Amino acid sequence: MTTATLDQTETLSAASRLNGSSLADLLGRIGLAAIFLLAGLNKVGGYTGTQGYMESAGVSGSLLPAVIALEVLGAIALIIGFQTRMVALALAAFSVLSGLLFHFNLGDQLQFIMFFKNIALAGGFLVVAAHGAGALSVDALRANRR
């Protein structure tokens, strides 16, 4: 193969990876991450209130910095597609755990909805963990450089 043919093949290969599915992967990651990014930033602004809420549920308020870090940094990593599978698994576990700790009052309609919202998010994260970030991601760029 000539250099020109190799360049054309690489360009076609890259173009075939950048399709509607790639865009859907990116938009899906943004959608899943948005709630965590906003929630984490809101926790910074309402730090004392959030600590009190956690403690009222029997969870140590000293865990709040770790929660904020997971929500904000995990959301950013998910959006850019960095360490996507690991981050998605961490956020799936966090979604289930926080649902059980804070929203497992299924007799209250709002808490019922919040709990199953967390379960639905965990399901979405498991799909991302199973399939990876897709072509529009740092993970894909890193894989292509190896």
- 33 pLDDT higher than 70: yes
**d(C-alpha 25, C-alpha 22), whole Å:** 5
Task: State the DSSP string of 1-27.
Answer: --HHHHHHHHHHHHHHHSSHHHHHHHH
| Residue pointed to by tokens 């292509």 | 144
35-73: pLDDT as tens digits: 999 999 999 999 999 999 999 999 999 999 999 999 999
Is the distance from CB of 32 to CB of 145 less than 8 angstroms? Answer: no
- 77 pLDDT higher than 80: yes
